[in-house]
Structure 1
Amino acid sequence: MSQGERTQLAERIAGEIAYSERSGETIRKWRTDFEVTQTELADRLDVSPSVVSDYESGRRDNPGIAVVRRTVEALLDIDEARGGRHIRQHARVISAGYDRDSVLDLREFSAAVPIERYFDAIDATELAAGTQETVVGHTVIDSIAAIRRLSSEEFYRLYGQSSNRALVFTNVSRGESPLVAMRVVNPTPNAVVLHGIEGEDVWEHAVDLARVDGFALSTTTIDLSAVLDAGDDQF
């Protein structure tokens, strides 16, 4: 990640905390998103864990800009020391112009990957075969947040520019909304993955729609972090 990308991400996180009516809750959101414990953050800030807890719970007044800046830099430093996985994911989404509450990851693979191999990497069960054999990346989408937060232009740009990719939808109950969306977006992706549900729970018309539109359809219940990491080492 370049210094400019890190600075852009830091400014985005700091701005969200500073403008939040519940800054402590926003700090907690980013800390947990980066998988950092209160103790780890406190050690980096050279304060006691109770201080971090007090800020996050609202027992202390809203942190000033200096505290926010140190907190953001601490989160980024910790992630960089671990290899920078979360920083890279955020940077990819931000550089594409999306909000990571809606788009959790947007990754390009180093080469075209057989769909079967991608499904194996995320422990997915194929429900319908597609007409294409490979994907060159994946886009992981929170289906509910996308509906609530993306404009119609962003929605169609996100879906419509993913023809040779795998679209992974999380936060789904039956997959009805993503599958209906595929009917109105052209071209369709090469593969669609419904995350967090078993095949038996998928909307009864999903497989038929996938076959009509020619994309591979699968489900996976693997931990979301494993889906987000797919491609770091495998492809």
Structure 2
Amino acid sequence: MGGRGPKRQLAEKIAGEITLSDDPGATLRKWRTDFDVSQTDLASELEVSSSVISDYESGRRESPGIGVVKRLVDGLLAIDERRGGDRIRQYGRVLSAGFESDVVLDLREYATSIPLSRFYGNIGATEVATGGVDRISGHTVIDSIEAITRLSSEEFFRLYGQSTNRALVFTGVTRGESPLVALRVVNPTPNAVVLHGIDDADLWNHAADLARIDGYSLATTSTPLEEMLEELVSLE
């Protein structure tokens, strides 16, 4: 990667996506929202009025040139750094594990193991099957469709990061069948699996049985994605 750090790589990714997008304003809005930065905060950082940011995002102002895009991206990253650099670090962790950030949304190792009940409590999850281990020492948040369609079984195993003593959180789930079936080809299994975006009423009817057979805890949560990712930051 030629010595480019995660901040530089993230800047290039965001700038590239905005510049090449069919709707640059919508893509800018997506990244600004991902960074949890208001239009007012970004405008203040760039010393422009909030209406300038609003006009770019709505398409009222013509698509920003590369110079403006660079200023917008630098502004987002500067705000993130002042807040502690969570988004930049998150991207760096995913990169260092060898994944694209649209497959793995977050990957963390904790300083000490924590009770699974605390993890579930933080993200508003409901346990539907109890596993053999009630503590975890990390988590990985995965886009289930991207992971299942793009990762080999060997790459799937790398989702465990440093240890299988962790929770795998699959987003974009409709019933949970695909990620749970995919996990059957990976050994060993994680301590816990969370299916995000559904509640237990929507769950595939064989899901709990499959979890019990393989010995991991299974839970569901419908907490909004960005809110869930924010809650996971506090577990580090």
Q: TM-score, normalised by structure 1?
A: 0.86
Partner amino acid, structure 1, of 2:131 = G
Question: Where does residue 117 of structure 1 map in the other structure?
Answer: 118
The answer to whether the 8 A contact 1:160-1:188 is kept is: no
* Equivalent position amino acid for 1:233 in 2: S
Could you tell me which residue of structure 2 aligns to residue 130 of structure 1? 131
Please say if residues 122 and 231 of structure 2, whose CA atoms lie closer than 8 Å, have aligned partners that are also in contact.
yes
- Provide the residue aligned with 1:180 in structure 2: 181
Question: How far, CA to CA, are the matches of 2:227 and 2:56 in structure 1?
Answer: 30
| Aligned-partner Cα distance in 2 for 1:50–1:114 | 46
What letter is aligned with 2:129? A
CA positional deviation for 1:159: 4.2
| Mapping for residues 142-157 of structure 1, pairs under 5 Å | 142-148=143-149, 150-152=150-152, 155-157=155-157
Count of aligned pairs between the two proteins: 232
**Superposed displacement of residue 230, structure 1:** 4.3
Match for 1:152: what amino acid? S
Give 1:10 shift: 1.5
CA contact (8 A) 1:159 1:185 kept: no
User: Contact 1:109–1:231 at 8 Å: present in 2 too?
Assistant: no
Matches within 5 A, 1:65-84: 65-84=66-85
Classify 1:90/1:153 alpha carbon distance in 2 versus 1 (closer, same or farther; 3 Å): same
Indicate the residue corresponding to 1:26 in structure 2.
27
SS at match of 2:5: helix
Tell me the distance in 2 between the aligned counterparts of 1:230 and 1:136: 16
Q: Does 1:43 align with 2:34?
A: no
2:226 maps to a residue whose letter is S
Contact (CA 8 Å) 1:193, 1:217: kept in 2 or not?
Answer: yes
Look up the SS of the partner of 2:213 in the other structure: helix
Instruction: Report how far residue 216 of structure 1 moved.
Output: 0.7
> Unaligned stretches of 5+ in structure 2?
none
For the residues of structure 2 that align with 1:204 and 1:215, how far apart are their CA atoms? 17
Letter in 2 for 1:22: D
Distance across 2 between alignment mates of 1:115 and 1:43: 41
Aligned to 1:164: 165
Q: Is the 8 A contact 2:166 2:192 kept in 1?
A: yes
CA root-mean-square deviation: 2.4
Once residues 178 and 158 of structure 2 are traced to their aligned partners in structure 1, the CA distance between those partners, rounded to angstroms, is: 15
**Take 1:226 and 1:41, find their aligned partners in 2: how far apart are those partners?**
20
Uncovered stretches (5+) of structure 1, i.e. residues with no partner: none
The CA distance in 2 between the partners of 1:151 and 1:117, in whole Å, is 30
Stretch deviating more after TM superposition (193-202 or 66-75): 193-202
Give the percent of matched residue pairs that are identical in Structure 1 and Structure 2: 58
Aligned residues of 2:153 and 2:186 also touching (Cα < 8 A): no
Q: CA deviation at 1:210?
A: 0.3
Give the AA of the match of 1:188: T
Q: Following TM superposition, by how much is the alpha carbon of 1:126 offset from its aligned partner in structure 2, in angstroms?
A: 1.4
C-alpha distance in structure 1 between counterparts of 2:232 and 2:25, whole Å: 33
C-alpha distance 228-66 of structure 1, shift in aligned 2 (>3 A): same
Matched letter for residue 114 of structure 1: P
| TM-score under structure 2 length normalisation | 0.86
What is the distance in 1 between the residues matched to 2:166 and 2:207?
19
Q: Take 1:101 and 1:199, find their aligned partners in 2: how far apart are those partners?
A: 26
Q: Offset at 1:154?
A: 7.4
* Cα distance, 1:233 vs structure 2: 3.4
CA apart distance, 1:48: 2.4
SS in 2 for 1:186: coil
Native 8 Å contact 2:6 2:92 kept in 1: yes
Structure 1 residues 156, 4: closer, same or farther in 2, change over 3 A?
closer
Stretch deviating more after TM superposition (112-121 or 101-110): 112-121
Question: Is residue 2:199 matched to residue 1:227?
Answer: no
Rate the CA distance shift 1:117–1:47 in 2: closer, same or farther, 3 A: closer
